[in-house]
């Protein structure tokens, strides 16, 4: 197993700090695949308490890759590389690393034997043999599920490289088996990091940022706002000596943030509006049915994609046409003629109708104009009406979303608005 990096005192120049991630592959630059490895590695570094300061993506170009390697070697203590370890000519990571830091490549017999064994069921590719080549002083980072091994190498004093294949499943197995124990022994951790992402539906990012301005000036914990589709997230992060202390400090700051005046927090981390609604329904033993026009089944899909949804979601009606609104939901022709399908009155009738027809405790309805056509001066693209019908009350409201964002954007926001209205109704009931 490789030894931890040399002491910082042995370095020339400014001390190197923390870790960086370098993802290699032209397919990442072209957008052909999502760079999920960088996010996953970043989460793992945070969990280990390793400061992480930069992420870089570079294509399959030897000169540009070498430049990235040299620059990183002057900044960080640990560079984690992903990609470019395969058998094809554009897989240049290992040889570029060796060339950049002046080490000859050596064939490792044990690696070649493993690679040959994994090709017994088919002919070994001509380039596969190069996967057994590593810089002379590097330590193998074993790959238990693929043919591309990685390496751990202190290429210059105080600077260590780790390489992983780009295949996420292989990278993650190698990380847990070898990289994590090495990082812990190397003393790269600066405590334990813990974080929580709080979610606020319908808030504007500037308004929420102004409400939490004192938190934004802190260095530990730190707070950062992020805008999403119809919501704003606040990521609260703390660093402490132990997991217990980190969680305690996190909770102390989380409570006031969850109870900000005028900014109700609906959940955190992996929670969604749909999961918040489903949880409330299940805990209170209640059921819901949905009636949808402009969202075309998106509201029902958001609820039923969750495990256990059958305990609370009875069903729904996609009522795009007026005839379906009349026949399946009981919306009167007189109401449609007087107010139009996109109206508060029709949304209320749809919610009451689906509740009655399906026998649920709650009914929720959405009708609107998602565009790009079908609008008028009185009813523009982006106008959405939501109604909630419950055991004691039926109420509705309308929102106007930006038409410029397009049809799918409007439909997503309409689903979120409907879920949030039901969530609020359940909390107030």
Summarize pLDDT for 180-214 with one digit per residue, the tens.
Answer: 999 999 988 888 888 999 999 999 999 999 999 99
Place of tokens 């570094």: 45
Position 1 pLDDT exceeds 80 = no
Answer with the residue of higher pLDDT: 402 or 385: 385
Take residue 88 and report the two structure tokens written for it: 């094809």
* pLDDT confidence bin for 6, thresholds 50/70/90: very low
| Helix 93-100 vs helix 62-73: crossing angle, to nearest 10 | 50
Q: Which parts of 2-86 fold into alpha helices (H)?
A: 26-29, 36-48, 62-73
**Which residue spans within 25-182 are E strands per DSSP?**
52-58, 78-82, 105-107, 133-135, 139-141, 150-156, 159-164
Cis peptide before 221, with omega less than 30 degrees from 0? yes
Predicted TM-score (pTM) of this structure: 0.77
Task: Please report which helix (H) or strand (E) contains residue 171, including its range.
Answer: helix 168-174
Determine the average pLDDT of the residues in 289-317.
97
CB neighbourhood size of 428 (10 A): 8
pLDDT score, position 121: 59
pLDDT score, position 117: 82
Determine the average pLDDT of the residues in 392-410.
93
CB neighbourhood size of 327 (10 A): 12
| 7-11, 262-266, 329-333: least confident range | 7-11
Determine the average pLDDT of the residues in 249-273.
94
pLDDT score, position 223: 94
Burial code (b: 16+ CB inside 10 Å, e: under 16) for 194-219 equals bbbbbbbbebebeebbebbeebeeee
* pLDDT confidence bin for 5, thresholds 50/70/90: very low
Rounded-to-5 percentages of helix, strand, coil across the chain: 40, 25, 35
Determine the average pLDDT of the residues in 279-290.
98
Take residue 196 and report the two structure tokens written for it: 């929580």
Determine the average pLDDT of the residues in 45-49.
88
Position 10 pLDDT exceeds 60 = no
- All structural domains of the chain: 15-114+121-184 (3.40.980.10), 190-266 (3.30.70.2860), 271-426 (3.90.950.20)
Summarize pLDDT for 98-121 with one digit per residue, the tens.
Answer: 999 999 999 999 998 888 887 665
Q: Is 269 strand, coil or helix?
A: coil
Position 325 pLDDT exceeds 90 = yes
CA 388/CA 398 separation, integer angstroms: 12
Tell me the β-bridge partners of 56.
22
Answer with the residue of higher pLDDT: 1 or 84: 84
> How large a percentage of the chain has pLDDT more than 70?
95
Determine the average pLDDT of the residues in 355-368.
98
Per-chain mean pLDDT for the chain: 92
Position 122 pLDDT exceeds 80 = no
* pLDDT confidence bin for 270, thresholds 50/70/90: very high
């Amino acid at each position: 197993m490789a030894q931890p990096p040399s002491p910082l005192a042995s370095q020339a120049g400014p001390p190197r700090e923390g870790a960086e991630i370098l993802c290699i592959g032209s397919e990442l630059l072209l957008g052909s695949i999502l760079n999920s490895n960088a996010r996953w590695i970043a989460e793992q570094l945070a969990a280990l308490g390793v400061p992480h300061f930069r992420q870089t993506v570079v294509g399959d170009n030897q000169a540009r890759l070498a430049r990235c390697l040299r620059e990183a070697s002057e900044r960080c203590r640990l560079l984690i590389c992903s990609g470019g370890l395969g058998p094809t000519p554009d897989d240049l990571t290992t040889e570029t690393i060796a060339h950049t830091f002046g080490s000859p490549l050596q064939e490792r017999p044990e690696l070649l034997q493993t690679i040959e064994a994994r090709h017994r069921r088919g002919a070994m590719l001509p380039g596969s043999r190069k996967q057994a080549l590593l810089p002379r002083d590097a330590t193998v980072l074993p790959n238990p599920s693929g043919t591309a091994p990685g390496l751990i190498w202190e290429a210059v004093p105080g600077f260590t490289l780790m390489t992983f294949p780009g295949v996420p499943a292989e990278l993650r197995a190698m990380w847990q088996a070898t990289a994590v124990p090495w990082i812990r022994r190397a003393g790269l951790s600066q405590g334990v990091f813990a974080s929580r992402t709080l979610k606020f539906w319908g808030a504007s990012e500037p308004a929420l940022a102004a409400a939490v301005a004192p938190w934004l000036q802190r260095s530990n914990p730190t707070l950062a706002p992020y805008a999403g589709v119809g919501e704003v997230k606040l990521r609260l992060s703390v660093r402490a000596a132990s997991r217990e202390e980190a969680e305690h400090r996190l909770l102390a700051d989380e409570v006031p943030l969850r109870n900000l005046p005028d900014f109700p927090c609906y959940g955190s981390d992996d929670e969604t509006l749909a999961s918040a609604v489903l949880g409330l329904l299940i805990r209170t033993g209640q059921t819901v049915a949905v009636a949808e026009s402009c969202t075309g089944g998106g509201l029902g899909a958001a609820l039923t994609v969750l495990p256990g949804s059958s305990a609370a979601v009875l069903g729904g009606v996609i009522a795009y046409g007026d005839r379906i609104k009349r026949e399946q939901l009981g919306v009167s022709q007189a109401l449609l003629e007087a107010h139009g399908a996109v109206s508060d009155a029709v949304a209320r009738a749809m919610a009451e109708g689906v509740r009655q027809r399906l026998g649920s405790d709650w009914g929720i309805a959405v009708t609107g104009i998602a565009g790009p056509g079908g609008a008028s001066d009185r009813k523009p693209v982006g106008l959405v009406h939501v109604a909630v019908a419950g055991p004691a009350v039926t109420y509705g409201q309308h929102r106007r979303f930006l038409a410029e964002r397009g049809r799918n954007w409007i439909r997503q926001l309409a689903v979120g608005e409907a879920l949030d209205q039901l969530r609020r109704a359940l909390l107030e009931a």
